Structure 1
Amino acid sequence: MQRTVSAHLDAQVAAATEIVLSIAVARGPKIVDEDLTIAVGDTPIDPEEIVEPDGTRLHVCRDLPEGQLNVDYSATVDGQVDEPWSADLAPHVYSRPSRYCESDKLLHIAGALFANLEGFELVDAVRNWVNEKVLYLSGWSRVTDGSVDTFLQRQGVCRDFAHLVVTFLRSRNMPARLSSVYAPGLSPMDFHAVAEAYVDGEWWVIDATGLAPREAMLRIAIGRDAADTAFLTTTRGRLKMGRMSVTAVIDPELPTEDPSAHVQLR
């Protein structure tokens, strides 16, 4: 299996702006070719790479000058990870309510919907409920929407589906987290967000949208929710986003998605 991905984004930057990019493939799989080019106008930017314990790679760009920012990333990955990333602190870090996954607010609702379910039986029930009850609507949600908003509105984009899955699982005492991924077969193509559940000491990926085969997905970042996995975060200054494009393809062929299968991100 060989996966090739790319991302382009541009933005207008105000002076002395600092950003954090989360678009590079996470540590783990064999990256045979990779390139990251960042420039403001004709000025190349050399970012600082930070590798988190879970393999997430962040690229910090400090003191960007005023002008047109262009970011281009591409990578080719051969094969899959032999041993998926684990997290010793998973039961603690990923069991609590977080910015977009307000599991404390949906505690009683999750109890009523998924009473007496555990393990993969709980995972499957939550995945099926969100898939059936929430409408995928491209471009719908606001950046401030959390899982409570999604539960009430019953529509959203991939991150909203993932947030609601994570929230329900945490509400039923199962550690759960959000992962951003490149997703071959996704249409419309974009960065994609999925949930992961901690069952029997391993992480298992859940995509309640059903829009792309999970076996083909390539991890970018791991976090409590989208606050930890956003493809771009402005930590100081100001910028105005322009165009963005993402590609993700797989060779030799796209796997067939089986929603009932239990799959790990590799």
Structure 2
Amino acid sequence: MNRDVNSELVLDVTSTADIVLSVACADVELSGGSEELIVELDGESLPTLELQDRHSTRLHRLTTGPGELKIRYSANIPRRVEPESVDEADIIRYLRPSRYCESDSLGPTAFATFADLSGSQLLEAVGSWVGTKLFYVSGSSLPTDGAVRTLLAREGVCRDFAHLCIGLLRAMNVPARLASVYAPGLSPMDFHAVCEAHVDGRWLVVDPTTLAPRSSMVRIATGRDAADTAFLTVLSGTLDLESLSVTAVVDDLPYDDVREAVQLG
């Protein structure tokens, strides 16, 4: 399975800015893929500093003056599931409540709904429950909304669905984290966010939106929640996002059985 992914950001930088990009696929050099990242300010190339974050997340940091900043990324990635060693510190990290996944507040709801379930049955039940309780509505949530507010509003976008899944699973003592991905088959096309849960020694994908096949997804970034996985972080300065386009295609789009255990690859 080969995946071709592309993203383009156009930014209007109004004062000197220090920014971090998270648009590159994780571990492209290990999976045998190819890629290109082009960053230009008013048509002139800008250098970036690549930094390695947790779980092979690759960040690109740059400083830019005012002007039109264009960022173009493209990659071809074959699917290959690499075994991930279990880090006990990560198990603890992904059991704790976090900025957008308030598992401590969600505990009563989780135990009342899923008390008799564990393992893969719990993953399937949580994904199905979130997928049926929430409506997917573009633009319905604020950047500051967490899982509790999403549950009360009963609507959101992919990151909100993922945050609620993560919060409920952590409340049931299952380590869970968020992965940002390129998702062939997604409509409308955009960056996508899914939940990963640690069960039986593996990190398994839970996507309550069911908007794209999990086995065709390509990992970009991994962390506690959206705070760790944003495609653009402005550390200082000011800018406006003028446009964003994302495409992701696969040579043969697979069928996704939500009952099947799937790992990102």
Shift of 1:119: 1.1
AA aligned to 1:59 is H
Q: Which residue of 2 aligns with 1:20?
A: 20
The alignment covers a number of residue pairs equal to 264
1:103 aligns with 2:103: yes
Residue 42 of structure 1 and its aligned partner are, at CA, apart by 2.9
Could you say which residue in structure 1 is the equivalent of 2:53?
Answer: 52
Match of 2:125 in 1: 125
Instruction: Report the counterpart of residue 148 of structure 2 in structure 1.
Output: 148
Matched, 1:263 2:262: yes
Task: Tell me how far apart the structure 1 counterparts of residues 16 and 114 of structure 2 sit (CA, whole Å).
Answer: 49
Between stretches 158-167 and 44-53, larger displacement belongs to 44-53
1:101 CA drift (Å): 0.4
Aligned to 2:34: 33
Where in structure 2 are there 5+ consecutive unaligned residues? none
Cα shift at 1:86? 4.9
Q: 1:85: how far off?
A: 6.5
Instruction: Specify the code of the residue in structure 2 equivalent to 1:144.
Output: T
CA contact (8 A) 2:31 2:80 kept: yes
- Tell me whether 1:230 sits opposite 2:230 in the alignment: yes
Name the SS for the 1:30 alignment partner. Answer: coil
> Can you list the C-alpha shifts for 1:175-204, whole angstroms capped at 9, x where unaligned?
000000000000000000000001112100
Specify the code of the residue in structure 2 equivalent to 1:40. L
How far did residue 31 of structure 1 move? 4.1
Q: Which residue number corresponds to residue 210 of structure 1? A: 210
The TM-score with structure 2 as length reference comes to 0.96
Cα offset for 1:32?
3.2
Query: What is aligned with 2:174?
Result: 174
For 2:203 and 2:260, the matched residues in 1 are separated by 14
Cα distance in 2, alignment partners of residues 85 and 220 from structure 1: 18
- Structure 1: runs of 5 or more not aligned: none
Taking structure 1 as reference, are residues 155 and 53 closer, same or farther at Cα in structure 2, changes over 3 Å only? closer
Distance 2:258 2:127 in 1: 9
Counterparts of 1:82 and 1:108 in 2: how far apart (Å)? 36
Name which of structure 1's ranges 25-34 and 65-74 shifts more when overlaid on structure 2.
Answer: 25-34
Paired residue type of 1:109? T
Quick check: 1:240 aligned with 2:240?
A: yes
Q: C-alpha separation between the residues in 2 aligned to 1:86 and 1:77? A: 24
Structure 1 residues 187 and 84: alpha-carbon distance in aligned structure 2, compared to 1, 3 A threshold: farther
1:260 & 1:32 partners in 2: Cα distance? 29
| Displacement of 1:114 | 1.1
SS in 2 for 1:100: coil
Q: Which stretch of the first structure deviates more once superposed, 179-188 or 89-98?
A: 89-98
Taking the aligned partners of 1:38 and 1:215, their CA distance within structure 2 comes to 30
> Could you tell me which residue of structure 1 aligns to residue 164 of structure 2?
164
Are positions 1:65 and 2:65 aligned together? yes
Partners of 2:104 and 2:82 in 1: CA distance: 36
Q: Does the CA contact (< 8 Å) of 1:54 and 1:86 recur in 2?
A: no
**1:93 equivalenced with 2:93 (yes/no):** yes
1-side partners of 2:87 and 2:254: how far apart?
A: 27
For 2:141 and 2:76, the matched residues in 1 are separated by 31
Query: How far, CA to CA, are the matches of 2:32 and 2:23 in structure 1?
Result: 14
Confirm or deny that 1:194 pairs with 2:205. no
Cα distance in 2 for residues equivalent to 1:206 and 1:265: 10
Q: Separation in 2 of the partners of 1:153 and 1:87?
A: 35
Identity over the aligned pairs, expressed in percent?
50
C-alpha distance in 1, partners of 2:241/2:79? 34
- What TM-score do you get using the length of structure 1 for normalisation? 0.96
Q: Which residue of 2 aligns with 1:113?
A: 113
2:81–2:263 CA contact under 8 A, matched in 1: no
Q: CA 1:59/1:86 → structure 2, altered by over 3 Å: closer, same or farther?
A: farther
Q: 1:210-235 CA deviation, whole Å, 9 max, x = no partner?
A: 00000100000000000000100101
Residues of 2 paired with 1:31 and 1:140: CA distance? 38
**In structure 2, distance between residues paired with 1:151 and 1:50:** 35
8 Å CA contact retained: 1:55, 1:85: no
